Structure 1
Amino acid sequence: MAAVRGSPPKWKVQTVEELRKMFKSHPVVAIVSFRGVPSNQMQRIRRELRGKALIKVVKNTLVEKALEELEDNYKKLEEFLYDQTALVFTDMNPFKLYKLLEETKEPSPLKPNQISPVDVVVEKGPTPIPPGPMMAELQNAGIPVAIERGKVVVRETVTVVKAGEVVKPEVARALSVLGIKPIKIGLDTRVIYDNGILLTPDILAIDVEKIKSEFAEAYQKALNLAVNCAYVTEETAEILIMKAVMDARNLAINAGLPVKEVMPEILAKAHMEALALASLLPESALDDELKSLLSSRVVEKKEEVVEEKKEEEKKEEEKEEEEEESALEGLGALFG
């Protein structure tokens, strides 16, 4: 039986219906670009996402048709449908999905006549290239090179192409020779739909380590505040008890209270104060025991002074050695 003129092909109707069901059955949907992604990389991405998310590549017009009959904020997704588009359906947290999609990207070289999305800088230093005709390729690309110890080296750091500029063929060849891959190719997230909320990359891109550091800092500040204002919680109880014990000990020692737990410290303090007082008296007023104790104390102080002097001399010698090494390096750089 011939199809009715003007009616859409059956496969299109089935595809639209399938998409509609997938939108309804998955709370999280990402719209991504796969422009420039090689087929082998795309296959690897599908394997890595298996069991976590489903990738669907269909024509943008069919996706728009599926969105027409859906409620909520699905209609807003139409503005993200352009160029080469894929849909990623999942039940994952949208931030975890974004991180997972970013991890699909692989370093890639720039192609001739491509518009560079980034500044490409060739750093000063050695290269793995042996002397030969490749030096001319690098020089044609505007990279200053020379031969040192049988190797080609870049004499100074140089920006060979800026963001937004067209990559010249000679620059692309030079970067390929140097093994420089300044861009990443993979699924590029445009938006993620999460139960009616649209999340763009500027919201989804989270520095996990920075967030962890901020949480740790906030926790430490809250703990310090709670301890200083004696606010008892499960986390502060042990610290507050230890602090109270230390405060009580210090109070007892300074007040000279005859408490069993601090008697050794009180006696030691009294002993030191007695020696300090005895050191102010004339020698005729001291008995033999006090004279012996004071002389021992003088010897200990002298030993401390000698140790401090030795430590200072050692630091001075180390400083002089560092200055000599620095001077020798400077001469070496000057005379090659």
Structure 2
Amino acid sequence: MVTKPSKSERKSMYDGKLCKLLDSYTQILIVAADNVGSNQLQNIRKGLRGDSIVLMGKNTMMKRSIRAHAEKTGNKDFLSLVPHLVDNVGLIFTKGDLKEVSDEVGKHKVGAPARVGLIAPIDVVVPPGNTGLDPSQTSFFQVLNIPTKINKGTVEIITPVELIKKGEKVGSSESALLSKLGIKPFSYGLVVLSVYDNGSVFSPEVLYLTDDDLVAKFAAGLSMVSSLSLALSYPSLAAAPHMFINGYKNVLAVSVETDYSYPQAEEVKEYLKDPSKFAVAAVPADAASSAAAPAAAAAEEKEEPAEESDDEPIFSLFDE
């Protein structure tokens, strides 16, 4: 007879498994598991099989095991996971590419009907068109103020209707109508909430940053450092080019207003005295067109090929 392990034994086994995973993996995805069924979770495990392990459990048990393991090993990095273990969440331990693992998790979403009392995660819009329902079902549409017409013995929705707004509870009428129309408006699966990587926890949006995004963010930060340095007159590598240019402008301004001069300022002073010296002689448009006309005419004139002479002898087929 096979005896089932006791509750304390199951806790001990879970604690040992979690601690072993913490020692073996440095990358963890914290995922929300609301409305995820056992079959769906099994498919996700199959899709991640190879370099990733999905571990679910009660938050209190996971927090206790992580705190005990951090105290035992002296590695306090794991404690950054504790504040994120809220509500119905799980952990995905992985040694693969975090973005690829996150994409794989996102593939395993399944459609779900709008059950009564459920909070809508998205807006639900009923599209126009033939519903296939007979005219006796018009009461559902009338209750929800959906404009319809009878077309060839079936109910047809005239215009798109926003049936449920995001954040609202699904009512019985909305649920019944969507069920009759065969619409499953919601989809559920594991949702990546946070990413743990060697002691750092960050948003999953970081995984999808491109090189252009990083360059833009670096440029924005560099601009802020440069602006702050200039405002405080504090020299920095980012502000140095601007400081040199501003300094040169000041020296040039002093040279222009006084008798003091230096080679680089001579040209500026000369220009201020007589700007006409630096004006480029522009050719009038009419003169340019008239000058170009003979050349164009000459280009168009081509030597005509010599015509064949009528005096040339005509050979007969019978001449030898």
* Counterparts of 2:125 and 2:89, CA distance in 1: 31
- Residues 251-270 of structure 1: pairs in structure 2 closer than 5 A: none
Structure 2 counterpart of 1:148: 151
Structure 2 counterpart of 1:26: 25
* Counterparts of 1:164 and 1:188, CA distance in 2: 18
Query: Residues 48, 289 of structure 1: CA spacing in aligned structure 2 closer, same or farther, 3 A cutoff?
Result: closer
Q: Alpha-carbon deviation of 1:179?
A: 2.8
Q: Which amino acid aligns with 2:161?
A: V
Indicate the larger mover: 135-144 or 102-111. Answer: 135-144
* Counterparts of 2:40 and 2:304, CA distance in 1: 89
What is the identity percentage for the equivalent residue pairs of Structure 1 and Structure 2? 29
Which SS does the other structure have where 1:73 is aligned?
A: helix
Greater radius of gyration (CA): 2
Q: Alpha-carbon deviation of 1:42?
A: 1.9
C-alpha contact (below 8 Å) 2:135/2:150 kept by paired residues: no
* Counterparts of 2:85 and 2:168, CA distance in 1: 26
Which SS does the other structure have where 1:133 is aligned?
A: helix
In structure 1, runs of 5+ residues without a counterpart are 1-7, 219-270, 279-287, 293-336
The answer to which structure has the higher helix fraction is 1
C-alpha contact (below 8 Å) 2:80/2:199 kept by paired residues: no
- Residues 61-72 of structure 1: pairs in structure 2 closer than 5 A: 61-68=60-67, 69-70=69-70, 71-72=75-76
1:182 paired to 2:185: yes
State the aligned residue count. Answer: 217
In structure 2, runs of 5+ residues without a counterpart are 1-6, 217-294, 308-320
Q: Alpha-carbon deviation of 1:273?
A: 5.9
Which SS does the other structure have where 2:28 is aligned?
A: strand
1:81 paired to 2:85: yes
Indicate the larger mover: 126-135 or 106-115. Answer: 126-135
Query: Residues 105, 199 of structure 1: CA spacing in aligned structure 2 closer, same or farther, 3 A cutoff?
Result: farther
Question: Alpha-carbon deviations, 1:13-71, whole Å to 9, x = none?
Answer: 33213211101201211222222112222222222222242111222122112221322
TM-score (norm 1): 0.57
TM-score (norm 2): 0.59
Structure 2 counterpart of 1:91: 95
Q: Alpha-carbon deviation of 1:152?
A: 2.3
Match of 2:168 among 129, 143, 165: 165
* Counterparts of 1:290 and 1:188, CA distance in 2: 81
Q: Alpha-carbon deviation of 1:183?
A: 2.1
Question: Alpha-carbon deviations, 1:178-228, whole Å to 9, x = none?
Answer: 233332211122212112221323434x38xxx59x79xx9xxxxxxxxxx
* Counterparts of 2:46 and 2:141, CA distance in 1: 39
Structure 2 counterpart of 1:15: 14
Q: Alpha-carbon deviation of 1:72?
A: 4.2
